């Protein structure tokens, strides 16, 4: 295992999608959100992920967001675009458009729909192989419980070895560190980017297992960067202390507030104009929001000061 020069490593948080009170895209807030996330130390960004509420967006809005965000980032940091779709053809079309607009990488879940529609490993392999043949940028396989599709480490490693652009893996399933360790052992150099996900709730064990990247929520990249930077500089004790310091907020996002945490923090700090999700997703409960702010204020993250 070398991982000496992965193209991408570090902290690549998910950019939330900002709406106004009427549930329309708020592109002015969207640009401020991106500027804040870059200023807060994001190594790169990821858009149109589940934490971006991709499931409430139309195809036209996806196009608008990709064009707007990539245009506004203007090469300051690399941007990963999520292009998941059940259809191989639609996923290819989405990925080609993302590539044409300047995406550094695409992130894709295995084909799934609803709670029960799945395909087996031969179809998943073929899906990623066809996608790889159609594009030039790296592919990140998102191994997340929401897809309900078991992706054993051996299968992921085989895809890395057999499919040209399949090189990055965001592992968010239970026992992520053990799976990352096994994936790296089996896949060797073909696994260019073994990454942590799920809001960094398992970040330290995942780094110990060999993770080189983290895809977290977008509310406090400065906090995640502190942990990653210390670890990368081989100061594990410092990284552990920082992880323990930020863990209450990481836990609050992961277990209580979910994908609305980043927007609530950004709204509180004046970065964005409205923290609301899109109907029918319920608003953050006032008590949950209060607990989130209480937890965040102890840490003084940039999000609460950036726009002041």
Nearest alpha-carbon partner for 98 in 132, 142, 53, 47: 47
CB 84 within 8 A of CB 52: no
Retrieve residue 207's tokens.
């780094």
The C-alpha atoms of residue 123 and residue 126 are separated, in whole angstroms, by 5
Catalytic residue list contains 179: no
Q: Which of 297, 295, 272, 276 is nearest to 37 (CA)?
A: 272
Q: Percentage helix, strand, coil, to 5, in the chain?
A: 50, 10, 35
Q: How far apart are CA 114 and CA 147, in angstroms?
A: 8
- Of 31, 170, 179, 263, which residue is the catalytic one? 170
The conformation of residue 164, written as its DSSP 8-state character, comes to T
Question: What are the residue numbers of the active site?
Answer: 170
């Amino acid at each position: 295992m070398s991982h000496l020069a992965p193209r991408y490593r570090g902290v690549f948080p998910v950019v939330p999608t900002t709406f106004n009170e009427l549930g329309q895209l708020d592109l002015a807030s969207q640009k401020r959100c991106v500027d804040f996330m870059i200023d807060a130390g994001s190594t790169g960004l990821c858009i149109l992920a589940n934490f971006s509420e991709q499931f409430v967006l139309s195809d036209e809005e996806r196009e608008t967001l990709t064009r707007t965000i990539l245009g506004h980032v203007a090469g300051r940091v690399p941007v990963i675009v999520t292009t998941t779709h059940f259809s191989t053809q639609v996923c290819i079309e989405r990925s080609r458009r993302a590539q044409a607009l300047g995406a550094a990488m695409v992130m894709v879940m295995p084909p799934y729909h609803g709670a029960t529609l799945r395909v087996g490993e031969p179809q998943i392999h073929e899906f990623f192989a066809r996608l790889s043949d159609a594009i030039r940028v790296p592919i990140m396989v998102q191994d997340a419980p929401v897809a309900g599709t078991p992706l054993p480490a051996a299968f992921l490693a085989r895809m890395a070895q057999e499919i040209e652009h399949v090189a990055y893996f965001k592992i968010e399933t239970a026992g992520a560190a053990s799976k990352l360790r096994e994936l790296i052992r089996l896949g060797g150099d073909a696994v260019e980017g073994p990454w942590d996900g799920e809001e960094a709730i398992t970040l330290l064990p995942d780094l110990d297992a060999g993770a080189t990247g983290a895809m977290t929520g977008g509310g406090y990249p400065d906090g995640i960067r502190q942990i990653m930077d210390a670890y990368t500089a081989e100061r594990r004790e410092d990284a552990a202390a920082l992880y323990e310091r930020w863990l209450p907020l990481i836990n609050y996002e992961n277990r209580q507030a979910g994908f609305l945490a980043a927007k609530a923090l950004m709204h509180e700090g004046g970065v964005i104009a409205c923290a609301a999700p899109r109907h029918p997703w319920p608003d953050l409960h006032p008590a949950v929001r209060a607990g989130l702010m209480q937890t965040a204020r102890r840490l003084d993250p940039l999000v609460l000061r950036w726009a002041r």
